[in-house]
Chains A and B, each alone.
Chain A
Amino acid sequence: MNVPIRSAFAAAAATVLAVASTASITGAAQAAWEPLKPVDFVIMAGKGGGADKMARLMQTIVEKHDLSSKPLIPINKPGGSGAEALIHLKQKAGDDHTIMVTLNSFYTTPLRQPALDVDIMTFTPVARMAEDTFLLWVHADSDINTVDEFVEAARAAGNDWIMAGTGKGQEDELLTTFLNNAYDLDMKYVPFKGGGRVAKELAGKNANSTVNNPSEQLGFYEAGKTRPIAAFTPERLELFSDAPTFLELDQDFVYFMQRSVVGAPGMSAEAAAFYQDLFAKVFASDEWQTYRHDKSLYGDLIAGDELKAYWQRERAIHEVMLKEIGEI
């Protein structure tokens, strides 16, 4: 099974290669630790969403290239905007066999719910695998092609305009509140479990708009059911080059979603090194690089203390955002 790994390395971009090879050297030095039993691979979101699809891809890459002696077993814990998953991880403190795929509710849910008593800085940083992007979507049957038309239609509908999203106080609601404030709208936010379900609600015309990630809407977009009208990115996305960015529309708003892997608090240093090495290999694989490109993902691999510093920054940003919308 060494051959595909090596060819994957060869194919990966030069920067990626540098990161991956240093990681594998440290990995070799600490080859002592390996999982003793199947690893719980907790997904902090519902089935069919961006986080879920990505987690399952990571799991299959690990299996395909035989990167771990024991399999990763994906478990969805979407309850309470990720609170269920955070509590689970907290309870697994000191466990070397529990890791989690996380997103931005990693910052917002503990901020909104101090009662959970979760301090994300105690969690073990493993790797940030990507930063996902957001677009504003409407149904392809609607007459809406531009943000101006969107604003006109949404304003006319008032609070009958349904914006479907993935949870309370989560990414989608932050973006909805941003749109409501920026354009003086009164859209109603309705949370569903998982971005896949949200995408389906729009395709089935049970919602008027969504702020899905590309991976979630791609299938419906290709089938001609939905249409992106603007992107929350610094530059236009290659995949949806007709959709302008909000920056072009003079709205200073850029928003990313982290796609990171985190370990239980108090995980042993050996185990943490193993998982960091493991996900560096996943990142360098052909499959992951292809997925990054096909789904318009941003963000390079960061790990360890660098990832912790990134969390610190992002948590501060989200704290400000939550205060602005009156959630905390």
Chain B
Amino acid sequence: MEILTHLLEGFGIAFLPLNLGLAIFGCLLGLFIGAMPGLGSVNGVAILLPLTFLVPPTSAVIFLGAIYYGAMYGGAISSIMLGIPGASTAVATTFDGRPLARKGMADRALVAAATASFVGGTISIVLFTMFAPPLAAVALVFGAPEEFALMLLAFATFIGLGGDDIPKTFFSILIGLVLSAVGLDIVSGQPRLIFFDIPGFFHGINFLVLAIGIYGIGEILWTIETSHKGIEVSQARLSIPRFVDSLRSLAGTAKTMVMGSFLGYFVGILPAAGATPGSLMAYGVAKSISKDPDSFGKGNVDGVVAPESANNAASTGSMLPMLTLGIPGSPTTAILLGGMVIWGLEPGPMLFIEHTDFVWGLIASLYAANLFALILNLAFIPAFIAVLRLPFTILAPVIFILCLVGGYAPTQDMHDVWLMFLFGVVGYLLRKLDYPMAPAVLAIVLGPLAETSMRQSLLIGHGSPAIFFERPISGAIMVVAIVLLALPLIRLVRRAVRRSADA
């Protein structure tokens, strides 16, 4: 009951006119920031931080929280419309969002993304409200072996139950892992895989460079090839009946939404992860539990719903370690943390006790921000659709420039732009050969996390992998991951047995 009283007080704070206005304004700004490639919630929050010194801390965090939330919605927009992830958290949304748009179902993908974001946000906020302190305790005991087990599980979901060609999926993951190993060794600091001694490889390969190359540049090449007999006219339309129909068709994805929300929230809580791994893992799981895994990557609404519900849930989740442990769960919350220090709030275990008005005001305003983001997003869909109907000769240069900006912005190094072109061409060729590219993106995001946690675990366990199985949480996750990995093998054997029985 105490929680409910706190929450009611929080709503009192969130619905003060200033705070409400800031929440709406923040959502709008966030939507735009998220939709622009190269401009993610990290930059948005960093640039707008100074504005918040004009208002009290609670209002400030409400504003920044709303930007963060809005950006999660906004990231999906360019992923679906242009095939370029607007923000790192929306990479997984391109996998199926773009194919849907190509089929003339952009409206359905956008409605699905907005609704899933809303559901993910809502579920995660409820979880936050009810279980913040116990979940913080879970995050605390989650050590290196548990983290590695979770990463292995993520890889397993991409291999185990997918409908794709298993060897090709495996190959794609390995490419991603090799690319993720480029740069300085995390533990010893030794340079690795510095191809041709080019200094640009020292900072590693940013996964956005790979994702934008494959999905942005690759997409342009693909469209040029498929439309050489005549410029493709997008059939994207929006009408009230289509909108209602889109909403109705979402009923079938309820299971995926709930799964994505819980998974995203949980991954978001872990200090090392954040919304990007969360959304990729949700995509993998959605594919493995789907009755029709083959349609993933070719325009399955579940493939949009899973990452979008997960990334919003994860963004709420990553507030938890920031507020309770003082460790940011994502790059954006790291900047929020800096803001809190100067507002005179010490994030950490004492915050929930000493500054209840701040904590609950923030939680209540997340509810509000979530609702506004949904309304704003749905209201803008007709405008987005209008953009899609532009002729390809206009759209292609725009996409091309946005790719350049998105590839250059994170590191501001031309080296990455050239690399992005290379990945675009190679990705296009691999796609022609039916290699799934999503696993490579997954591997380059999760590879460094998996490698670090594995090496730390092995150090603790004197080099013996037994450590992964001795601890209850990591042991349980490892078993599930191994079963998932073994499934294709079992299926292969079963098929062989059946064939010999038939013969």
Contact = CB atoms under 8 A, between A and B. Distances in A.
A56 B341 contact: yes
Contacts of B49: 59-60, 63, 71
Interface in A83-130: 83-84, 87-88, 91, 109, 112-113, 115-116
A278 interface: no
A203 to B, nearest CB: 6
A84 B203 contact: yes
A59 B338 CA distance: 8
Interface string A69-82: 00101101101111
A190 interface: yes
B327 interface: yes
Nearest to A169: B189
B344 to A, nearest CB: 9
A263 to B, nearest CB: 17
B102 to A, nearest CB: 36
A143 interface: no
Interface in B34-55: 43, 46-47, 49-50, 53
A200 B189 contact: no
B503 interface: no
Contacts of A91: 199, 202
A206 B185 contact: no
A23 interface: no
Interface in B74-111: none
Contacts of A162: 460
B250 interface: no
B187 A168 contact: yes
Nearest to B199: A91
Interface string B241-282: 000000000000000000000000000000110000000000
A220 interface: yes
Contacts of B199: 87, 91
A307 interface: no
A204 B50 CA distance: 34
Nearest to B348: A219
Interface stretch (B9-17, B212-220, B328-336): B328-336
Given A71-B47, A73-B43, A219-B326, A87 B143 contact: no
Interface string A184-228: 000010111100110111011110000000000011101101000
B348 A222 contact: yes
Interface centre among A57, A76, A79, A197, by most chain B C-beta atoms within 10 angstroms, is A79
A22 B342 CA distance: 26
Given A83-B189, A191-B456, A200 B327 contact: yes
Contact of B190 (A60, A80, A88): A80
B203 A48 contact: no
A159 B459 CA distance: 10
Interface in A23-76: 38, 40, 47-48, 52-53, 55-57, 59-61, 63-64, 66, 71, 73-74, 76
Given A56-B334, A57-B341, A80-B189, 20 more contacts: A48-B337, A56-B338, A73-B47, A76-B331, A79-B186, A79-B203, A80-B190, A82-B189, A83-B189, A112-B189, A162-B460, A168-B189, A169-B189, A196-B326, A196-B327, A200-B327, A205-B141, A218-B346, A218-B348, A287-B342
Interface of A: 38, 40, 47-48, 52-53, 55-57, 59-61, 63-64, 66, 71, 73-74, 76-77, 79-84, 87-88, 91, 109, 112-113, 115-116, 159, 162, 167-169, 188, 190-193, 196-197, 199-201, 203-206, 218-220, 222-223, 225, 287, 291
6 contacts: A48-B327, A60-B341, A64-B53, A80-B189, A113-B190, A192-B144
Please name the 9 residue pairs, one residue from A and one from B, whose CB atoms are nearest each other, closest first: A219-B348, A56-B338, A80-B189, A223-B349, A80-B184, A206-B143, A63-B50, A204-B140, A60-B342
